[in-house]
Amino acid sequence: MHIIEQASIKDLTTLRIGGRADKLFFPSTPEELISLLVELQDRGIKWSMLGGGSNLLVSSQGVGGAVISTSEMDWVNRVSPDAVVVGAGARLPKLAGQLAHMGLSGCEFMEGIPGSIGGAVVMNAGAHGHWTSNILEKVTLIDTHKGQVLSLTASQFDFGYRSSNIDPNRHVIVEAKFRLSDGMPDQIMDKMKQYRRQRTVSQPKGFSSGCIFRNPSMASPAGRLIDEMGFKGDKLGGAEISNIHANFILNSQGATSDQIIHLISRIQLKAWNTKNIWLQPEVYGMGNFTDEEKVIWLHPGIRDKELVNMSKYQLFGQVS
Ligand SMILES: Cc1cc2nc3c(=O)[nH]c(=O)nc-3n(C[C@H](O)[C@H](O)[C@H](O)COP(=O)(O)OP(=O)(O)OC[C@H]3O[C@@H](n4cnc5c(N)ncnc54)[C@H](O)[C@@H]3O)c2cc1C
């Protein structure tokens, strides 16, 4: 297995932010992944899973312990005329293209989502009215608390809007099985092109993690709220709230994680104080954040109570 010591993580994220990890591992088979996790657990070494790094804010102060990249676990096996089993590290746009060539329809919405299957299952990635959970049949995952490899059906997960009950601190996705339908390759690719065009006009270019907040409701998208509160174009150091889509924070010039966190915090505070809306980050955190920084993942109702003992509360989407 390929291993890098003192690895810089920032280039493995779409936001291009993040310090070093003690060790970065690249398992390429389920067996390698399982024995790696067993070894890390036995030695008491903290680990974090890294997929496409497209929904991650990695601390500029680094990541203590091991980071496990799934980038070499990218197999795509057709197991029946309309079903494929895909490794956790397969990239969504590439997968959508491969399936289009096979005449399999259902993954077109993945075009333009720069994540991996593991990350897409964890947060039930979706676009254009389609969700990962709609086509998901089974997931093979490692429950590191139980020390078991489990094969679970999609109905066993509590999928919601950008959410599931998969805990990336505990569950490691190995592969997923998708049920698709027959389609004409040309028509599938036309659909993908249409989705790509829609993104080109609605989303900014540059380094980002996509939408930084979940939409508080479909009727009031986070981007519109942030725009109404006058944040578009605001900057802090190298971080900038996009002028094109206010729910995107861009790393336009060597931004650091604390600058992104400050902008997130400012937006959250104003939304809470003026609209009584809590904007929950969509982005997950990884690495050495301070308790003050971690509060962005904590509901203000809990945050405001005396001194927060972080370990007592579930942090929404926070990893470390
Ligand atoms: C330009 C842009 C556009 C985007 N558009 C969309 C969109 O339209 N719809 C949408 O839903 N999202 C969108 N995203 C966000 C992102 O691409 C998706 O959330 C994607 O599913 C994240 O997958 P990832 O592999 O990059 O996850 P990562 O960012 O690598 O990780 C996210 C979380 O999942 C965990 N994780 C990753 N792999 C595994 C695994 N194998 N097992 C267990 N845990 C794992 C990580 O530890 C982390 O907690 C966009 C992002 C960008 C940058």
The reply to whether ligand 1 has any atom less than 6 angstroms from the CB of 261 is no
92 and 180 fall within a common domain: yes
Q: What is the structure's pLDDT at 304?
A: 59
Which token pair is 294?
């971690």
189 and 226 fall within a common domain: no
Distance CA(255)–CA(81), nearest Å, equals 47
Decide which of 69, 94, 122 is a domain's last residue: 69
Ligand 1 atom with minimal separation from the 284 CA? 49
Distance CA(55)–CA(114), nearest Å, equals 9
What is the best residue among 113, 134, 150, 167 to mutate for testing ligand 1's pocket, by most ligand atoms within 8 Å of CB? 113
65 and 82 fall within a common domain: no
Distance 307 CA to ligand 1 centre (A): 32
Ligand 1 atom with minimal separation from the 54 CA? 26
Ligand 1 atom 48: the closest Cα is on which residue?
284
Q: What is the structure's pLDDT at 320?
A: 46
35 and 88 fall within a common domain: no
Cα torsion at 146, 148, 152, 156 (round to 10°)?
A: 0
What is the spatial order of strands in the sheet that 136-143 belongs to?
A: 76-80, 83-87, 171-179, 136-143, 148-153
The total number of structural domains in the chain stands at 3
Distance CA(110)–CA(180), nearest Å, equals 13
Asked if residue 100 belongs to a domain, the reply is: yes
94 and 60 fall within a common domain: no
CATH classification of the domain holding 167: 3.30.465.10
Cα torsion at 265, 205, 90, 264 (round to 10°)?
A: 0
Distance CA(109)–CA(87), nearest Å, equals 18
The reply to whether ligand 1 has any atom less than 6 angstroms from the CB of 126 is yes
Decide which of 18, 39, 69 is a domain's last residue: 69
18 and 65 fall within a common domain: yes
Q: For residue 32, what are the domain limits?
A: 2-69
Asked if residue 12 belongs to a domain, the reply is: yes
Asked if residue 210 belongs to a domain, the reply is: no
Q: What is the structure's pLDDT at 301?
A: 73
CATH classification of the domain holding 33: 3.30.43.10
Residues in the chain predicted with pLDDT less than 70, given as ranges, are: 303-320
Tens digit of each residue's pLDDT (9 = 90 or more) over 106-155: 999 999 999 999 999 999 999 999 999 999 999 999 999 999 999 999 99
The reply to whether ligand 1 has any atom less than 6 angstroms from the CB of 120 is yes
Asked if residue 217 belongs to a domain, the reply is: no
Decide which of 20, 41, 69 is a domain's last residue: 69
64 and 80 fall within a common domain: no
Asked if residue 231 belongs to a domain, the reply is: yes
CATH classification of the domain holding 237: 3.90.78.10
83 and 139 fall within a common domain: yes
Asked if residue 215 belongs to a domain, the reply is: no
Asked if residue 277 belongs to a domain, the reply is: yes
Ligand 1 atom with minimal separation from the 117 CA? 25
Q: What is the structure's pLDDT at 220?
A: 80
58 and 96 fall within a common domain: no
| Closest residue by Cα to residue 118 from 178, 49, 38, 63 | 49
The reply to whether ligand 1 has any atom less than 6 angstroms from the CB of 54 is yes
109 and 15 fall within a common domain: no
CB atoms < 10 A from the CB of 5, how many? 9
DSSP 59-110: -TT-EEEEEEE-TT---EEEEETTEEEEETT-BHHHHHHHHHHHTEES-GGG
Distance 316 CA to ligand 1 centre (A): 15
104 and 174 fall within a common domain: yes
Asked if residue 308 belongs to a domain, the reply is: yes
The reply to whether ligand 1 has any atom less than 6 angstroms from the CB of 53 is yes
81 and 194 fall within a common domain: yes
Ligand 1 atom 28: the closest Cα is on which residue?
53
pLDDT mean across residues, the chain: 92
Distance 94 CA to ligand 1 centre (A): 15
Which token pair is 80?
């029946």
Distance 134 CA to ligand 1 centre (A): 17
